Amino acid sequence: MSIPHSVSPSRGPGSPKVVGFYDKASGSCQYICIDEATSRCALIDVVLDFNPARARTSTESADWALDWIAREGLTLEWILDTHPHADHMMASSYLKEKTGVQTAIGEKVREIAGLWRDFYHEPDAFDVDSDFDRLFAKGDTFRIGDLDATVLLSPGHTLGSITYVVGDAIFAHDTFMQPDSGTARADFPGGSAAMLYDSLMEILSYPDEHRIFIGHDYGAEGRDDPAWESTVAEQKAHNTHLGGGVTKEKYVEVREARDATLNLPDRMLHALQVNLRGGRLPAPEADGNSYFKIPANRF
Protein backbone atom coordinates (compact mmCIF):
# COMPACT_ATOMS: atom_id res chain seq x y z
CA MET A 1 0.00 0.00 0.00
CA SER A 2 1.34 3.43 -0.95
CA ILE A 3 0.95 6.20 1.64
CA PRO A 4 2.46 9.67 1.15
CA HIS A 5 5.37 9.97 3.56
CA SER A 6 8.70 11.67 4.12
CA VAL A 7 11.67 11.37 6.46
CA SER A 8 13.09 14.24 8.51
CA PRO A 9 16.62 13.16 9.46
CA SER A 10 18.07 13.39 12.94
CA ARG A 11 20.28 16.43 13.41
CA GLY A 12 22.61 14.65 15.77
CA PRO A 13 22.66 13.37 19.38
CA GLY A 14 19.39 14.11 21.17
CA SER A 15 17.53 14.81 17.92
CA PRO A 16 14.97 12.29 16.61
CA LYS A 17 14.53 10.99 13.12
CA VAL A 18 10.90 11.60 12.20
CA VAL A 19 8.84 9.73 9.62
CA GLY A 20 5.72 11.66 8.66
CA PHE A 21 2.92 9.91 6.82
CA TYR A 22 -0.41 11.18 5.53
CA ASP A 23 -4.06 10.17 5.51
CA LYS A 24 -5.57 11.87 2.47
CA ALA A 25 -9.18 11.14 3.46
CA SER A 26 -8.97 13.21 6.65
CA GLY A 27 -5.94 15.37 5.85
CA SER A 28 -4.22 13.94 8.93
CA CYS A 29 -0.46 13.90 9.54
CA GLN A 30 0.90 10.97 11.55
CA TYR A 31 4.39 10.30 12.88
CA ILE A 32 7.00 7.76 13.86
CA CYS A 33 9.49 9.43 16.21
CA ILE A 34 12.76 7.47 16.28
CA ASP A 35 15.81 7.45 18.53
CA GLU A 36 18.45 6.17 16.14
CA ALA A 37 20.95 5.49 18.95
CA THR A 38 18.71 2.81 20.51
CA SER A 39 16.39 1.94 17.57
CA ARG A 40 13.40 2.73 19.79
CA CYS A 41 10.43 4.75 18.65
CA ALA A 42 6.99 6.18 19.37
CA LEU A 43 3.89 6.45 17.19
CA ILE A 44 2.03 9.76 17.36
CA ASP A 45 -1.57 10.48 16.29
CA VAL A 46 -1.99 7.40 14.09
CA VAL A 47 -5.32 7.17 12.24
CA LEU A 48 -7.88 4.39 12.36
CA ASP A 49 -9.18 4.67 8.80
CA PHE A 50 -12.91 5.29 8.49
CA ASN A 51 -15.37 5.46 5.61
CA PRO A 52 -18.28 7.60 6.88
CA ALA A 53 -20.55 6.65 3.98
CA ARG A 54 -20.38 3.00 5.10
CA ALA A 55 -19.57 3.56 8.78
CA ARG A 56 -16.70 1.10 8.27
CA THR A 57 -13.28 1.14 9.91
CA SER A 58 -10.03 -0.27 8.52
CA THR A 59 -6.39 -0.29 9.56
CA GLU A 60 -4.30 0.61 6.51
CA SER A 61 -2.53 3.58 8.14
CA ALA A 62 -1.71 1.74 11.36
CA ASP A 63 -0.53 -1.36 9.50
CA TRP A 64 1.69 0.78 7.27
CA ALA A 65 3.36 2.24 10.36
CA LEU A 66 3.83 -1.17 11.99
CA ASP A 67 5.31 -2.53 8.77
CA TRP A 68 7.77 0.39 8.64
CA ILE A 69 8.82 -0.22 12.23
CA ALA A 70 9.34 -3.95 11.59
CA ARG A 71 11.23 -3.37 8.34
CA GLU A 72 13.60 -0.90 10.01
CA GLY A 73 14.22 -3.18 12.99
CA LEU A 74 12.78 -0.69 15.48
CA THR A 75 11.24 -1.33 18.89
CA LEU A 76 8.00 0.52 19.63
CA GLU A 77 7.89 2.05 23.14
CA TRP A 78 4.92 4.44 23.09
CA ILE A 79 1.58 4.89 21.33
CA LEU A 80 0.86 8.60 21.78
CA ASP A 81 -2.05 10.88 20.98
CA THR A 82 -2.19 14.63 21.42
CA HIS A 83 -5.98 15.00 21.93
CA PRO A 84 -9.30 13.28 21.15
CA HIS A 85 -9.38 14.05 17.44
CA ALA A 86 -12.58 15.37 15.86
CA ASP A 87 -11.69 14.64 12.25
CA HIS A 88 -10.33 11.12 12.49
CA MET A 89 -10.49 8.07 14.71
CA MET A 90 -7.38 7.15 16.64
CA ALA A 91 -5.74 3.76 16.10
CA SER A 92 -4.35 3.51 19.64
CA SER A 93 -6.46 0.57 20.76
CA TYR A 94 -5.70 -1.42 17.61
CA LEU A 95 -1.99 -0.66 17.89
CA LYS A 96 -1.94 -1.78 21.51
CA GLU A 97 -3.75 -5.01 20.62
CA LYS A 98 -1.12 -5.71 17.97
CA THR A 99 1.95 -4.76 20.03
CA GLY A 100 1.12 -4.66 23.74
CA VAL A 101 2.73 -1.20 23.94
CA GLN A 102 1.46 1.47 26.35
CA THR A 103 -0.87 4.26 25.19
CA ALA A 104 -0.92 7.86 26.40
CA ILE A 105 -2.80 11.14 26.05
CA GLY A 106 -3.28 14.27 28.20
CA GLU A 107 -5.00 14.14 31.60
CA LYS A 108 -7.51 16.87 30.70
CA VAL A 109 -9.18 14.36 28.39
CA ARG A 110 -11.15 13.56 31.55
CA GLU A 111 -12.76 17.01 31.24
CA ILE A 112 -13.38 16.59 27.51
CA ALA A 113 -15.09 13.28 28.25
CA GLY A 114 -17.39 15.09 30.67
CA LEU A 115 -18.52 17.47 27.93
CA TRP A 116 -19.23 14.69 25.48
CA ARG A 117 -21.10 12.48 27.92
CA ASP A 118 -23.72 15.20 27.82
CA PHE A 119 -23.73 15.56 24.03
CA TYR A 120 -24.13 11.80 23.56
CA HIS A 121 -26.45 11.45 26.58
CA GLU A 122 -24.28 8.64 27.90
CA PRO A 123 -23.58 9.57 31.55
CA ASP A 124 -21.57 6.42 32.25
CA ALA A 125 -19.46 6.40 29.07
CA PHE A 126 -15.79 7.23 28.49
CA ASP A 127 -13.70 5.85 31.34
CA VAL A 128 -10.50 7.42 30.07
CA ASP A 129 -8.47 6.27 33.10
CA SER A 130 -9.11 2.69 32.04
CA ASP A 131 -8.87 3.22 28.29
CA PHE A 132 -5.40 4.85 28.31
CA ASP A 133 -2.33 3.58 30.12
CA ARG A 134 -0.88 7.02 30.89
CA LEU A 135 -2.55 10.42 31.23
CA PHE A 136 0.13 13.09 30.95
CA ALA A 137 0.04 16.31 32.96
CA LYS A 138 1.58 19.62 31.95
CA GLY A 139 5.34 19.43 32.42
CA ASP A 140 5.57 15.64 32.56
CA THR A 141 8.70 14.11 31.06
CA PHE A 142 9.42 10.69 29.61
CA ARG A 143 11.89 9.04 27.25
CA ILE A 144 11.81 7.47 23.82
CA GLY A 145 14.92 5.36 23.89
CA ASP A 146 17.53 7.85 25.12
CA LEU A 147 15.63 10.88 23.84
CA ASP A 148 14.16 13.27 26.39
CA ALA A 149 10.49 14.18 25.82
CA THR A 150 8.45 16.92 27.52
CA VAL A 151 4.68 17.43 27.60
CA LEU A 152 3.20 20.90 27.07
CA LEU A 153 -0.44 21.67 27.77
CA SER A 154 -1.61 23.38 24.56
CA PRO A 155 -5.33 24.16 24.87
CA GLY A 156 -7.38 26.07 22.34
CA HIS A 157 -8.31 23.57 19.66
CA THR A 158 -9.56 21.45 22.56
CA LEU A 159 -9.27 22.20 26.27
CA GLY A 160 -6.99 19.19 26.77
CA SER A 161 -4.63 19.19 23.80
CA ILE A 162 -0.98 18.45 24.55
CA THR A 163 2.24 18.94 22.59
CA TYR A 164 5.19 16.55 22.69
CA VAL A 165 8.65 18.13 22.51
CA VAL A 166 11.25 15.46 21.74
CA GLY A 167 14.72 16.94 21.39
CA ASP A 168 14.41 19.53 18.62
CA ALA A 169 11.11 18.10 17.30
CA ILE A 170 7.80 19.68 18.35
CA PHE A 171 4.72 17.57 17.66
CA ALA A 172 2.30 20.47 17.64
CA HIS A 173 -0.88 18.66 16.46
CA ASP A 174 -3.90 20.93 15.81
CA THR A 175 -2.30 24.23 16.81
CA PHE A 176 -0.21 25.32 13.84
CA MET A 177 -0.82 24.33 10.27
CA GLN A 178 1.78 24.96 7.59
CA PRO A 179 2.77 28.64 7.40
CA ASP A 180 0.78 29.13 4.19
CA SER A 181 -2.38 27.80 5.90
CA GLY A 182 -2.26 29.47 9.31
CA THR A 183 -3.56 27.79 12.45
CA ALA A 184 -6.18 25.28 13.57
CA ARG A 185 -9.79 26.02 14.39
CA ALA A 186 -10.81 26.71 17.99
CA ASP A 187 -14.61 26.46 17.95
CA PHE A 188 -15.20 22.90 19.17
CA PRO A 189 -16.75 22.43 22.64
CA GLY A 190 -14.16 23.54 25.18
CA GLY A 191 -12.09 25.32 22.54
CA SER A 192 -10.93 28.93 22.68
CA ALA A 193 -9.12 31.14 20.18
CA ALA A 194 -7.58 33.12 23.04
CA MET A 195 -6.19 29.97 24.67
CA LEU A 196 -4.97 28.76 21.29
CA TYR A 197 -3.01 31.98 20.78
CA ASP A 198 -1.25 31.47 24.11
CA SER A 199 -0.43 27.87 23.15
CA LEU A 200 0.98 29.00 19.82
CA MET A 201 3.14 31.59 21.53
CA GLU A 202 4.57 28.98 23.91
CA ILE A 203 5.56 26.82 20.95
CA LEU A 204 7.14 29.82 19.25
CA SER A 205 9.26 30.46 22.35
CA TYR A 206 11.42 27.46 21.41
CA PRO A 207 14.64 28.02 19.41
CA ASP A 208 14.16 29.09 15.80
CA GLU A 209 15.69 25.91 14.39
CA HIS A 210 13.32 23.55 16.21
CA ARG A 211 11.17 21.54 13.82
CA ILE A 212 7.37 21.78 14.05
CA PHE A 213 5.30 18.79 12.95
CA ILE A 214 1.61 19.56 12.53
CA GLY A 215 -1.60 17.55 12.78
CA HIS A 216 -3.30 18.39 9.49
CA ASP A 217 -2.65 19.73 6.04
CA TYR A 218 -5.22 20.36 3.32
CA GLY A 219 -2.95 21.97 0.76
CA ALA A 220 -2.91 25.66 -0.05
CA GLU A 221 -3.04 27.98 -3.03
CA GLY A 222 -0.13 27.11 -5.27
CA ARG A 223 0.68 23.92 -3.35
CA ASP A 224 -1.01 20.62 -4.13
CA ASP A 225 1.17 18.14 -2.25
CA PRO A 226 0.65 17.65 1.49
CA ALA A 227 3.32 19.00 3.83
CA TRP A 228 3.74 18.76 7.59
CA GLU A 229 7.17 20.06 8.62
CA SER A 230 8.30 23.63 9.25
CA THR A 231 10.49 25.41 11.81
CA VAL A 232 9.81 27.86 14.58
CA ALA A 233 11.54 30.55 12.51
CA GLU A 234 9.38 29.84 9.46
CA GLN A 235 6.19 30.00 11.50
CA LYS A 236 7.23 33.26 13.15
CA ALA A 237 8.01 34.91 9.83
CA HIS A 238 5.43 33.49 7.45
CA ASN A 239 2.38 32.04 9.24
CA THR A 240 -0.63 33.66 7.58
CA HIS A 241 -2.42 34.17 10.92
CA LEU A 242 0.55 35.10 13.10
CA GLY A 243 3.53 36.07 10.95
CA GLY A 244 5.21 39.35 11.74
CA GLY A 245 3.93 39.61 15.31
CA VAL A 246 0.11 39.73 15.13
CA THR A 247 -1.46 40.79 18.43
CA LYS A 248 -3.59 38.43 20.47
CA GLU A 249 -6.66 40.61 19.95
CA LYS A 250 -6.25 40.63 16.18
CA TYR A 251 -5.56 36.91 16.08
CA VAL A 252 -8.70 36.09 18.08
CA GLU A 253 -10.78 38.33 15.79
CA VAL A 254 -9.49 36.62 12.63
CA ARG A 255 -9.67 33.10 14.07
CA GLU A 256 -13.22 33.46 15.38
CA ALA A 257 -14.44 35.00 12.12
CA ARG A 258 -12.95 32.12 10.16
CA ASP A 259 -14.33 29.48 12.52
CA ALA A 260 -17.84 30.90 12.16
CA THR A 261 -17.80 29.87 8.48
CA LEU A 262 -16.77 26.22 9.05
CA ASN A 263 -18.93 23.12 9.15
CA LEU A 264 -18.19 20.29 11.54
CA PRO A 265 -15.80 17.64 10.20
CA ASP A 266 -17.79 14.85 8.58
CA ARG A 267 -16.26 12.25 10.93
CA MET A 268 -16.58 14.22 14.16
CA LEU A 269 -19.71 12.75 15.73
CA HIS A 270 -18.54 9.24 14.90
CA ALA A 271 -14.94 9.82 15.92
CA LEU A 272 -15.28 11.34 19.36
CA GLN A 273 -17.25 8.43 20.78
CA VAL A 274 -14.42 6.18 19.61
CA ASN A 275 -11.50 8.40 20.61
CA LEU A 276 -12.85 8.99 24.11
CA ARG A 277 -12.73 5.20 24.46
CA GLY A 278 -9.06 5.15 23.52
CA GLY A 279 -9.81 4.19 19.91
CA ARG A 280 -12.33 1.48 20.76
CA LEU A 281 -15.70 1.15 19.08
CA PRO A 282 -18.76 1.20 21.35
CA ALA A 283 -19.27 -2.12 23.08
CA PRO A 284 -20.97 -4.73 20.87
CA GLU A 285 -24.67 -5.23 21.46
CA ALA A 286 -26.54 -8.52 21.70
CA ASP A 287 -26.14 -9.22 17.97
CA GLY A 288 -22.35 -8.83 18.18
CA ASN A 289 -22.25 -5.51 16.29
CA SER A 290 -21.15 -2.07 17.51
CA TYR A 291 -23.40 0.91 16.90
CA PHE A 292 -22.63 4.62 16.74
CA LYS A 293 -24.85 7.08 18.59
CA ILE A 294 -25.26 10.37 16.72
CA PRO A 295 -26.93 13.33 18.48
CA ALA A 296 -29.54 15.06 16.32
CA ASN A 297 -29.94 18.85 16.27
CA ARG A 298 -27.26 19.46 18.91
CA PHE A 299 -24.87 21.35 16.63
CATH number assigned to the domain comprising residue 178: 3.60.15.10
Assigned domain for 295 exists? no
Per-position pLDDT tens, the chain of length 299 = 689 999 999 999 999 999 999 999 999 999 999 999 999 999 999 999 999 999 999 999 999 999 999 999 999 999 999 999 999 999 999 999 999 999 999 999 999 999 999 999 999 999 999 999 999 999 999 999 999 999 999 999 999 999 999 999 999 999 999 999 999 999 999 999 999 999 999 999 999 999 999 999 998 888 889 999 999 999 999 999 998 889 999 999 999 999 999 999 999 999 999 999 999 999 999 999 999 999 999 98
pLDDT at res. 204: 97
SS (H, E, C) 175-227: CECCCCCCECCCCCCCCCHHHHHHHHHHHHCCCCCCEEEECECCCECCECCCC
Assigned domain for 289 exists? no
Q: State how far the Cα of 292 lies from the Cα of 277, in Å rounded to an integer.
A: 13
pLDDT at res. 1: 65
Assigned domain for 22 exists? yes
What number of H helices and E strands is found in the chain?
A: 8, 16
Assigned domain for 212 exists? yes
Assigned domain for 141 exists? yes
What residues make up the domain containing 172? 5-272
Assigned domain for 278 exists? no
SS3 content of the chain, % helix, strand, coil (to 5): 25, 25, 50
Which 3 state secondary structure label does DSSP give 288? coil
Q: Are 29 and 181 in contact (CB under 8 A)?
A: no
In total, how many domains does the chain have?
1
Q: State how far the Cα of 186 lies from the Cα of 273, in Å rounded to an integer.
A: 20
Q: State how far the Cα of 174 lies from the Cα of 156, in Å rounded to an integer.
A: 9
Using a cut of 0.95, tell me whether the model's pTM lies above it. yes
Assigned domain for 56 exists? yes
Q: State how far the Cα of 66 lies from the Cα of 63, in Å rounded to an integer.
A: 5
Assigned domain for 291 exists? no
